[in-house]
Structure 1
């Protein structure tokens, strides 16, 4: 039965069916092959999406969409420019820091890519050329799912079950996320020197930096309040996502006054589309998982893997290699929904910390968003910059290599990931 489910899914996906429908076709094929009643699927699918924690997904998506339309980009970019705009390749550094700032309010790489591309592509292109500029924007946008709040981490935690806390997973991404920002800044300096690029901003002045911090303070407080509240136990991740929406509405309408009713309607529309796609995939994937569980596929997979190795590190490396391939061909949300229920329990059997494995899983698939042929962030930036995938790929590989290097370091040194969660009691 498991082979039937997977074969039908793969064929449907290759024929161009949306991944949610491909999963549904696979589930139906599994039911028919096993002789079960088809009525079992609707109840499984309904139970999968009828979950309180899933409400955090549309709320966080909506909060990010609102903040994008609330004029925060200009404030974040001004603050970043005051800090690093005067160094060699300054605009590239500004883009990285702006990506870091956006990641603390959106948690979605595609949304960040759209915002950064629309704002930074033309200024960067004037100084650095189209290919390098597009690559910097794509790499900076990819910080969104790594630095909390992260939509990808919410999906992972839901699919993994009670063994993974959203707050703990958020904290797990902080130190590696900051390390990645530092690595990317160094790379921008090295590449700017190699390309002969000079400074583009004004000379550094503490007065200008402090003025921009004061101006951006209300924006910078959002992640402090939301993430701090979740980690501190003031509210759950779902309640925190609702707080984020209220905060974004207050900032947009009362502080920056750049959020309009038309923008609010657009934000709600974009949220509905994103939530519907994720919800459909979760519902259909739950049916597939149910079929595979009945067929004891997870247990068979665990037995097979343990027959290959008993070493947790070797298992983690094997999963990483699989996810490298999966990330090149499968959209990341679909990968979380399909693979987490299979691989997360096996990681627990190997004695791997669930937060450590969860972060490695997320980082691995986030990198896949920058790799062709299905790198969604790559395609978003290509559309904005009017550039081919081949040209941007020549410039994006150094950033991709740096991300894989960070993945390997986090794999070998778990404390980088687990230091803050353990400090907070997770």
Structure 2
């Protein structure tokens, strides 16, 4: 029965059927084949999304949309410009720094890609051309689910159960996120130097840095307050998302003064659309997961993997290879919901640190958001910037390769992932 459900889902997804609908049809097919009472389906669907932790996802989405509408993104760009200074490829560096700053608040790659494409590409393309500019923005947006807070990590922790804490996963992403940030900056410099792109930006000035810090001090406080509060135990991720949303509204109305009451309906509707897609997939996938459980697919899968290898390191490479393929064809949220309940228990049985495996799983699928043919970030950036897909993929490959190198490094050196959360008591 489990194999039939998987076949139905993959078949519908590959031919382009919307993923939530594909999950629903697969679940219904499994229920009919198992001769279940269909009356249990509405209950499974509602129980899956009736969750306090999942409320953080729409709130983080809303925070990102408010930041874009309120002009907070422009403040982040100004601040990044002050620290980067005059250098070859300086505007590209500003884009990466702005992406990291936005990632520390929104936690969603799609929202970040939309914000960065809208605000930065018009300036970037004048210096670097549309293709490279779009590639930079796509890479910078992918920092969103890696640098905490992260919507992807929240979904993973929810699907993995009590053995993985959201705060622990957030801290697991800090060191790798900083490494990736530095590597992306270095890549932008190298590519700019090799292609002879112009020197941009103003010389670094202590007076300008201090002026920008004074002007944007309240903006910088947003990620510090949200992440610090969650990690410090002052509030849950959901409460932290609500605090961040309220504070972003305060910044928009009282600090930047670019947010109007008339803007709120559009902001709420945009965030609600994205949240609805994620929520529908979680609801439909919960039924599929239920079918897998009663059909004992996790035990069968564990036996299959153990037949291939009993080495935990080899298991991690095996999963990484599988997720590489999965990320090319499935949307990441669907992959979390479908695969985490299957592979997380196996990783625990192998003695792999749950935080280590969780971060590797998230990073692998985050990279998949940049890989064709179903890279959602590619579609978002193409839709906003009007760059053709072939050009964007070609310009994105150096950044994708850097991300896969980081994945390999984290597999080989697990302390890069686990040292910080363990030091903080997770």
Q: How does 1:4-403 map onto structure 2 within 5 Å? A: 4-403=4-403
Any conservation in 2 of the 1:164–1:355 contact (CA below 8 Å)?
yes
Shift of 1:117: 1.2
Shift of 1:12: 2.5
Deviations 1:67-113 (A, max 9, x none): 12111111111111111141111011011001111111111111111
Shift of 1:383: 2.2
Quote the Cα distance in structure 2 between the aligned partners of 1:41 and 1:385: 41
Any conservation in 2 of the 1:60–1:106 contact (CA below 8 Å)?
yes
Shift of 1:15: 4.1
Deviations 1:150-197 (A, max 9, x none): 111111111111111111111111111111110011111111110012
Deviations 1:13-63 (A, max 9, x none): 234332111111111111111122111222222211111111111111111
Quote the Cα distance in structure 2 between the aligned partners of 1:422 and 1:115: 34
Any conservation in 2 of the 1:332–1:365 contact (CA below 8 Å)?
yes
| 1:421 aligns to 2:421 (yes or no) | yes
Any conservation in 2 of the 1:157–1:165 contact (CA below 8 Å)?
yes
Quote the Cα distance in structure 1 between the aligned partners of 2:126 and 2:13: 40
Shift of 1:118: 1.4
Deviations 1:259-282 (A, max 9, x none): 111221112111211221111111
Stretches of structure 2 that go unaligned for 5 or more consecutive residues are: none
Quote the Cα distance in structure 2 between the aligned partners of 1:100 and 1:403: 15
Quote the Cα distance in structure 2 between the aligned partners of 1:413 and 1:14: 35
Quote the Cα distance in structure 1 between the aligned partners of 2:333 and 2:206: 42
Stretches of structure 1 that go unaligned for 5 or more consecutive residues are: none
Helix, strand or coil for the counterpart of 2:200?
coil
Any conservation in 2 of the 1:85–1:94 contact (CA below 8 Å)?
no
| Stretch of structure 1 that moved more, 185-194 or 114-123 | 114-123
Helix, strand or coil for the counterpart of 2:258?
coil
Quote the Cα distance in structure 2 between the aligned partners of 1:186 and 1:339: 34
Distance verdict in 2 for CA 1:262–1:91, change over 3 Å: same
Shift of 1:253: 0.9
Any conservation in 2 of the 1:85–1:199 contact (CA below 8 Å)?
no
Shift of 1:4: 1.8
Any conservation in 1 of the 2:65–2:271 contact (CA below 8 Å)?
yes
Quote the Cα distance in structure 1 between the aligned partners of 2:281 and 2:381: 25
Quote the Cα distance in structure 2 between the aligned partners of 1:92 and 1:142: 15
Q: Which runs of 4+ in 1 moved over 4 A?
A: none
Any conservation in 2 of the 1:85–1:93 contact (CA below 8 Å)?
no
| Stretch of structure 1 that moved more, 162-171 or 266-275 | 266-275
Aligned length: 426
| Stretch of structure 1 that moved more, 53-62 or 403-412 | 53-62
Quote the Cα distance in structure 1 between the aligned partners of 2:343 and 2:253: 44
